[in-house]
Amino acid sequence: MKPQAQLFPRLWVAAAALALVLPAGWALVRVAARDADPTAALGVRLGMTASDVRARAQLPEGGTWSTSTTEDGTLLLDWSHDDPTAFVRDARFEVHEGALVAVRASVRDASRLPGDRQIRSAEAVADARPHDDGTTRYRLVARNCPVHAREVAEILASP
């Protein structure tokens, strides 16, 4: 047998091994980096549809949803909870042109917020500020939304 003929089966096995290992490795990286996603908060990710937000939001049991719109066409999905001991007291999800562009929440314990609370990435900005009522006001805003451009600039200018 020629040396070239012996090399072909080895290359095929190596290619097959890579085809199996690379997707599995990428999946592991994505799972490990899930908390590091700068566009995610409370179980939702910027860019989701309103129905995805309602289905995937990770909020305490027993809250209520309400919906309204603003003059510029932004759909507001508001969630609130009457229990003052709940981790999330209230949350607002703002959907503009069919995509989630902002998440706002009042939380009791800021240390339970996922990831970094002071985000400055190419996709989003976020901050968390203590409020007089003892809660922390958290906001995550998409940088590419023209409706929120002023707020993005304000977050970027804050310490």
Predicted local confidence at residue 33, as pLDDT: 47
Q: Residue 6: left (phi > 0), alpha (psi -120 to 50), or beta?
A: alpha
- pLDDT tens-digit readout, 104-154: 999 988 777 765 567 788 899 998 888 898 889 999 999 999 999 999 999
Both tokens assigned to 123: 């996709």
pLDDT beyond 90 at 23:
no
pLDDT beyond 80 at 101:
yes
Under 8 Å between Cβ of 74 and 95? yes
Quote the distance between the C-alpha of residue 151 and its chain's center.
18
- So where are the chain's domains? 1-32, 38-157
Predicted local confidence at residue 68, as pLDDT: 97
> Confidence band (pLDDT; 50, 70, 90) for 30?
very low
- pLDDT tens-digit readout, 34-73: 446 888 889 999 999 999 999 999 999 989 999 999 999 9
